[in-house]
């Protein structure tokens, strides 16, 4: 089975495409494209329908929930936020991005924007929300920053990371995911602009880039952000890259936009991911290995401005780029790789009859709720989208965990004394009502 790809897409920004008809139309299409990540943006605290989330997870597409419009004038998150997070955690959500562009004037009132320091007030705002996510075993994603505008993004991020370290919030540092907006469609910059980051371009400074230097505005923005993480924490952090929905490619012809998109995908998914490659005469260095995904604005929005970037027409017809992507991924992507025969499996250790009866009795509420296939072998467990393992059973090794990942299985631990569950085997269990 082929490994999970780093290819992602933004899903439709409206609520109408979560219905069964749209779900059944688009998710198989995403699977056929090799899409493994889907960005779901919500402007309110109403849950995305569970059937949509479960269909994604059952097809091994990882949802990234973007909560971009959270209350910012409160000392702690509203109660409905925690209720929503708990619900998402129960459904298997692993990543939630909090806020958007806190280095931009639009995020603040004029008085705050005119203050001496925006970073510390934002960290004060961010921390309580992130704490709720971590409470429910969801990885908090630091917001995307406005690139090279407003409060310069690399300066803002450096100060934010230094603030976390100074406050000794290691509980957050160890789980934090970075994110960054990728500018792919600026005709004044080639797609390989900024490769190597600050170390290669030491003359690049906030608000000024000398003619003989480059900056973070391009496909290689992760090189710049990871340099800040290493300088602050001594290690890089995982990072999600997003095609900036607000950065419209006004000055490029549709053919040029599609070409840049395809070249970015070729670099992202090239089999020689750690080597320098050449695409149509342009040299591309390896992308940062900490990149979890690059998500494109490939599905049409209800405005004509983004149509030139979309991979499909407003009626859902694929543009030629879709055929090129499928042809490129064809040798590497099994179109059926994301399918599982069963949604849930309960993997149990070998026990004597009395022990097994006692364990199953304790797990009865869980079994009634999820109706898993009960198995004692890894081979049968590989057939499930979600695999549940009793906490402390010592059933699987690190090698076997990797094997589950290769089969696109989401692993959960379950504590029979509770009942409680947790996503991924290295996380503490969480209570389920």
What whole-number distance in Å separates Cα of residue 120 and Cα of residue 295?
A: 29
End-to-end CA separation in angstroms for the chain? 36
> Alpha-carbon distance 143 to 139, whole Å?
12
What value does the mean pLDDT take over residues 373-398? 83
Would you state the structure tokens that stand for residue 304, as one six-digit string? 């004509």
Helix (H), strand (E) at residue 58: helix 50-58
Do 23 and 51 meet the contact criterion of CB atoms below 8 Å apart? Answer: yes
Whole-model pTM?
0.78
Report cis status (omega within 30 of 0) of the bond before 419: yes
For residue 207, the Cα-to-chain-centroid distance in whole angstroms is 29
Give the closest residue to 228 by CA, choosing from 300, 298, 156, 328.
Answer: 156
C-beta of residue 375 within 8 angstroms of C-beta of residue 401: no
**Enclosing H/E stretch for 414:** strand 410-415
Radius of gyration from C-alpha coordinates of the chain: 22
Whole-angstrom distance, CA of residue 394 vs CA of residue 172: 27
Portion of the chain with pLDDT greater than 70, in percent: 90
Dihedral pair phi/psi, residue 396, rounded to 5°: -130, 150
Greatest alpha-carbon span in the chain: 76
**Residue 200: which region, alpha, beta or left (left: phi > 0; alpha: psi -120 to 50)?**
alpha
- 341-414 domain in CATH 3.30.70? no
Please provide the CATH number assigned to the domain covering 7-336: 3.20.20
Residue spans in the chain of domains classed CATH 3.40.50: 341-414
Bridge partners for 65 per DSSP:
40, 96
Do residues 243 and 297 touch, judged by C-beta distance below 8 A? yes
Q: Tell me whether strands 282-284 and 277-279 are parallel, antiparallel or unpaired.
A: antiparallel
Q: Which pLDDT score is estimated for 431?
A: 37
**Residues 84 and 40 sit within 8 Å (Cβ to Cβ):** no
Beta bridge partners of 394: none
Q: For residue range 5-44, what is the model confidence (pLDDT) as tens digits?
A: 999 999 998 999 999 999 999 999 999 999 999 999 999 9
Residue reference for tokens 């990871």? 226
The H or E element spanning position 347 is strand 342-347
Which residues in the chain are classed under CATH 3.20.20?
7-336
For residue 8, the model assigns a pLDDT of 98
- Residues 388 and 400 sit within 8 Å (Cβ to Cβ): no
- pLDDT, tens digit (0-9, with 9 covering 90-100), for 420-431: 444 443 333 333
pLDDT band at residue 331 using 50, 70 and 90 as cut-offs: low
The rounded distance, in Å, linking the Cα atoms of 241 and 179 is 6
pLDDT given at position 140: 98
Neighbours of 135 (CB within 10 A): 13
In the predicted model, is pLDDT for residue 250 greater than 50?
yes
Q: What is the pLDDT of residue 125?
A: 97
DSSP E strand boundaries for 46-191: 62-67, 95-98, 139-141, 178-182
Distance CA 369, CA 388 (A): 13
Secondary structure (DSSP) of 354-382: HHHHHHHHHTHHHHHHH-PEEESSHHHHT
CB contact set of 425 (below 8 Å; sequence gap of 6+): 389, 396, 401, 411, 413
> Rounded mean pLDDT of 183-196?
95
Residue 302 pLDDT more than 90?
no
Q: Which pLDDT score, from 0 to 100, does residue 36 have?
A: 95
Rounded to an integer, the average pLDDT of 137-160 is 97
């Amino acid at each position: 089975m082929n490994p999970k790809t780093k290819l992602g897409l933004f899903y439709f920004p409206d609520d109408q495409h979560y219905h069964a008809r749209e779900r059944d139309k688009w998710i198989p299409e995403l699977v056929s494209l090799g899409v493994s990540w889907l960005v779901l943006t919500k402007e309110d605290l109403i849950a995305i329908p569970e059937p949509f989330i479960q269909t994604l997870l059952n097809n091994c597409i990882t949802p990234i929930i973007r909560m971009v419009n959270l209350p910012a004038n409160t000392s702690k998150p509203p109660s409905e936020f925690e209720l929503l997070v708990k619900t998402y955690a129960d459904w298997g959500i692993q990543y939630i991005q909090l806020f958007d562009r806190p280095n931009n004037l639009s995020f603040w009132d004029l008085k705050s924007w005119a203050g001496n320091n925006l970073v510390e007030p934002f960290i004060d705002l961010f921390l309580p929300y992130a704490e709720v996510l971590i409470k429910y075993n969801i990885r908090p994603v630091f917001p995307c920053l406005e690139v090279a505008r407003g409060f310069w993004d690399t300066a803002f991020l450096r100060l934010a990371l230094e603030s976390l370290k100074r406050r000794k919030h290691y509980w957050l540092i160890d789980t934090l995911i970075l994110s960054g907006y990728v500018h792919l469609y600026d005709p004044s910059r080639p797609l390989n602009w900024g490769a190597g980051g600050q170390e290669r371009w030491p003359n690049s400074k906030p608000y000024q880039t000398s003619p003989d230097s480059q900056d973070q505005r391009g496909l290689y923005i992760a090189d710049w952000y990871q340099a800040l993480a290493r300088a602050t924490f001594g290690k890089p952090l995982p990072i999600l890259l997003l095609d900036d929905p607000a950065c419209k490619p006004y000055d490029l012809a549709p053919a040029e936009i599609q070409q840049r998109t395809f070249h970015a995908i070729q670099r992202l998914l090239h089999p020689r991911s750690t080597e320098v490659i050449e695409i149509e005469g342009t040299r591309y260095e390896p992308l940062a290995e900490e990149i979890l995904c690059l998500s494109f604005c490939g599905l049409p929005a209800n405005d004509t401005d983004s149509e030139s970037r979309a991979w499909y027409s407003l009626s859902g017809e694929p543009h030629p780029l879709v055929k090129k992507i499928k042809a490129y991924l064809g040798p590497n992507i099994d179109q059926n790789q994301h399918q599982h025969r069963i949604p849930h499996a309960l993997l149990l250790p070998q026990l004597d009859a009395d022990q097994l009866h006692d364990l199953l009795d304790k797990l009865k509420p869980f079994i009634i709720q999820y109706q898993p296939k009960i198995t004692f072998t890894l081979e049968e467990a590989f057939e499930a989208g979600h695999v549940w393992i009793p906490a402390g059973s010592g059933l699987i090794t690190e090698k076997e965990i990797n094997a589950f990942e290769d089969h696109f299985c989401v692993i959960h631990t379950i504590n029979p004394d509770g009942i409680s569950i947790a996503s991924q085997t290295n996380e503490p269990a969480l209570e389920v009502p």
